[in-house]
């Protein structure tokens, strides 16, 4: 089959488009004829390599996808060849206490499919194999590229805002990186929950996009001091109180501002760190303001089904803004690294 892969970590030049081994199905697995995939920032991390994280090589990235079931492994039941499905990125043992309790994210064998699994195991290919528990029916009203762009970012956002931060109607939430895939899903979900999303973004075009995604207010940081701009506007918008929740997937560069923007008793929830893993904090802010810092990582199968219901109901729409053919995946990753994208970028695998 044809796929985009790399055999060593590095820049965009390590990506190759060519023939790779066909997937071999094991018990309880399904083979998908991939119709579309979608970018996530963990594609960049996998290609570049991460300190103290060993990723299987050769590597096919891609944790989001949609396609048609082409074959079933031994003992696989509950689906049929020809079913149109989208993918859930959590691969786990399905047998331990955590898995049986519906908490796959705490399984000791949990791996993010297309990021930590492999070799030759991701959605940027003509075919891909997954556990049968990792597929669900494709929403009929979505195109293939929209379906492919639905799962990982939305699921992460759902766990962050609903499960971990427990956002309530009327609460204010500061959303960093609001025009990207994760941020744009966060804006939509916050609006659907009746909360007040405050988006932070870097250009007028991205600000308009954030408004279309549901932002009540937009803080534009273009060519301005980020800390003073964001903190000043948050104080103005909240009458000096601060926001109830900070939604962060940026990390170190915005951490001090996030802490100062929180109201007394506020919550900060974080799922990633695209701009640095190590952040400093004056601990007096933590205990004096009685803040809550919440880590969040992907989401459970149960949470995935819950957030897909909102997609089925039309309350959340996959914000696909660009589509690249599979052979041009390197161009798509380059745009993501330059922060030249809005919403989700999809890959046509057909």
| Helix residue ranges per DSSP H, 178-313 | 181-193, 204-213, 226-237, 255-261, 283-288, 301-312
Per-residue confidence at 198, pLDDT binned at 50, 70, 90?
A: very high
Of 275 and 89, the structure prediction assigns the larger pLDDT to: 89
Lowest mean pLDDT across 36-50, 238-252, 279-293? 279-293
* Average pLDDT over every residue of 257-282: 91
pTM: 0.94
Per-residue confidence at 251, pLDDT binned at 50, 70, 90?
A: confident
The pLDDT of residue 298 is above 80: yes
First to last CA, the chain: 12
Number of continuous H segments (helices) and E segments (strands) in the chain: 11, 17
* Average pLDDT over every residue of 173-181: 96
The percent of residues above 90 in pLDDT, for the chain, comes to 90
CB atoms within 10 A of CB 167: 24
Query: Is 133 in a helix, a strand, or coil?
Result: helix
Task: Give the β-pairing of 111-112 and 90-91.
Answer: antiparallel
Give residue-wise pLDDT tens across range 312-345: 999 999 999 999 999 999 999 999 999 889 999 9
Task: Give the pLDDT score at 282.
Answer: 86
Per-residue confidence at 275, pLDDT binned at 50, 70, 90?
A: confident
Per-residue confidence at 204, pLDDT binned at 50, 70, 90?
A: very high
* Average pLDDT over every residue of 156-181: 97
What value does the mean pLDDT of the chain take? 95
The pLDDT of residue 51 is above 90: no
* Average pLDDT over every residue of 207-212: 97
Long-range contacts of residues 338-342, Cβ cutoff 8 Å, at least 24 apart: 339/202, 341/39, 341/180, 341/181, 342/179, 342/180, 342/184, 342/205, 342/206, 342/209
CA distance 264 to 69: 51
Task: Give the pLDDT score at 104.
Answer: 95
Give residue-wise pLDDT tens across range 80-103: 999 999 999 999 999 999 999 999
Query: Is 31 in a helix, a strand, or coil?
Result: strand
Within a 13 Å sphere around the CA of 227, how many CA atoms are in the beta-carbon half? 8
Task: Give the pLDDT score at 226.
Answer: 87
Give residue-wise pLDDT tens across range 139-163: 999 999 999 999 999 999 999 999 9
* Average pLDDT over every residue of 201-226: 92
Greatest distance between any 2 Cα atoms in the chain: 61
Classify domain 156-295 at the CATH class level. Answer: alpha beta
Q: Are 121 and 58 in contact (CB under 8 A)?
A: no
Q: Are 266 and 294 in contact (CB under 8 A)?
A: no
Per-residue confidence at 240, pLDDT binned at 50, 70, 90?
A: very high
Tell whether omega for the bond before 134 is within 30 degrees of 0, i.e. cis: no
Classify domain 2-150+318-348 at the CATH class level. Answer: alpha beta
The percent of residues above 70 in pLDDT, for the chain, comes to 100
CA distance 305 to 302: 5
The pLDDT of residue 222 is above 80: no
Task: Give the pLDDT score at 87.
Answer: 97
* Average pLDDT over every residue of 298-304: 96
CA distance 149 to 128: 16
Domain locations in the chain as residue ranges:
2-150+318-348, 156-295
The pLDDT of residue 283 is above 80: yes
The pLDDT of residue 252 is above 90: no
């Amino acid at each position: 089959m044809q796929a985009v892969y790399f055999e060593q970590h590095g820049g965009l030049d390590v990506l190759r488009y060519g023939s790779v081994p066909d997937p071999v199905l094991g018990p309880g697995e399904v083979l998908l004829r991939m119709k579309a995939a979608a970018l996530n920032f963990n594609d960049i991390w996998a290609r570049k390599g991460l300190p103290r994280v060993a990723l299987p090589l050769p590597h096919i990235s891609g944790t989001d996808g949609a396609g048609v079931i082409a074959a079933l492994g031994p003992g696989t039941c509950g689906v049929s060849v020809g079913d149109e499905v989208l993918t859930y990125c959590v691969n786990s043992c399905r047998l331990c206490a955590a898995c049986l309790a519906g908490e796959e994210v705490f399984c000791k064998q949990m791996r993010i499919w297309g990021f930590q699994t492999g070799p030759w195991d991701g959605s940027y290919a003509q075919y891909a194999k997954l556990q049968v528990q990792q597929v669900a029916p494709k929403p009929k009203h979505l195109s293939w590229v929209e379906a492919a762009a639905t799962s990982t970012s939305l699921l992460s956002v759902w766990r962050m805002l609903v499960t971990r931060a427990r956002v309530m109607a009327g609460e204010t939430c500061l959303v960093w990186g609001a025009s990207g895939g994760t941020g744009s899903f966060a804006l939509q979900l916050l609006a659907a929950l009746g909360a007040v999303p405050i988006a932070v973004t870097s250009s007028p075009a991205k600000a308009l996009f954030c408004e279309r995604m549901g932002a009540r207010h937009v803080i534009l940081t273009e060519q301005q001091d980020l800390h003073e701009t964001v903190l000043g506007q948050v104080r103005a918008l909240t009458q000096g109180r601060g926001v109830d929740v900070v939604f962060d997937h940026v990390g170190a560069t915005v951490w001090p501002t996030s802490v100062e923007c929180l109201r007394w008793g506020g919550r900060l929830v974080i799922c990633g760190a695209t701009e640095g893993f190590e952040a400093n904090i004056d601990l007096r802010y933590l205990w004096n303001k009685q803040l809550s810092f919440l880590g969040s990582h992907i989401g459970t199968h149960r949470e995935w089904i819950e957030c897909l219901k909102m997609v089925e109901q039309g309350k959340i729409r996959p914000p696909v803004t660009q589509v690249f053919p599979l052979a041009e995946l390197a161009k798509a990753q380059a745009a993501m690294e330059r922060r030249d994208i809005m919403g989700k970028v999809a890959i046509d695998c057909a």
